[in-house]
Structure 1
């Protein structure tokens, strides 16, 4: 049965983590304002994912500008593991920062959006190095009994 269900890779795990943290931030923020709500999960997920996408775009744009300025050819992201992993870490840090700063726990989705944007933008810069490192880690894990 295991061969029918493939294991998710780092990009899929990061994508699902991004959605989970954004949705949880949306539910908590909606529950603080209106009582227990579940309908605020989708806007939290969508806005966090949009922030991560725009952050990844910004990071790749800045990376391409710097590379072409130095006379190198532009980098075209193929695997996009770096900005998704950076987006998840940024979302988590941004949400926790907003929890720590806010006296009543409001604006958690804003913290997750800003964190996702900054994390994805910073994660896009070393993107070409992340995927080979992950593949070597997977090879080492499969070599061990």
Structure 2
């Protein structure tokens, strides 16, 4: 069964985390306003995801702008691990900050959107360094097999 279901990489885990945080924030905010409801999960997910994509675009745009001012080639993101990890952490922290700052816990989706935007923007800057670091971490991780044992 494990061969049938591939293991998710960090980008896919972060993407699903962004959707989960946005959806949970939407459900909680909708429940506070209308009573228990699930139909507010999708707008929360999509708005948080749009905030993350716009943040990643803004971060890469600013990064390319600075690189071209310095006379370097523009960076074209290949793996995009940095901004997705930043968007996930930003959405999480933004939602938590909105819970702490709001007396009644409202506007959780706004917190997740702004957090995802800021996190993705900040995560786009070190994007070219994140993927090699993750690759080295994966190579240095023990496999979990005991030497000398078979079967």
**TM-score category (smaller protein):** over 0.9
Instruction: Name stretches of at least 5 consecutive residues in structure 2 with no aligned partner.
Output: 146-151
Aligned to 2:83: 83
Aligned to 2:16: 16
Cα distance in 2, alignment partners of residues 55 and 63 from structure 1: 12
Aligned to 1:70: 70
Instruction: Name stretches of at least 5 consecutive residues in structure 1 with no aligned partner.
Output: none
Secondary structure of residue in 2 paired with 1:2: coil
CA-CA distance at 1:5 after TM superposition: 1.1
* RMSD across aligned positions (CA): 0.9
Q: TM-score, normalised by structure 1?
A: 0.98
Q: Provide Cα deviations, 1:81-106, integer angstroms capped at 9, x if missing partner.
A: 00000000000000000000101111
Pick the structure with more helix per residue. Answer: 1
**Across the two proteins, how many residue pairs are aligned to each other?**
145
Structure 1 segments of 4 or more deviating over 6 A? none
Q: TM-score, normalised by structure 2?
A: 0.94
Cα distance in 2, alignment partners of residues 107 and 130 from structure 1: 32
Matching of residues 18-97 of structure 1 within 5 Å: 18-97=18-97
Aligned to 1:104: 104
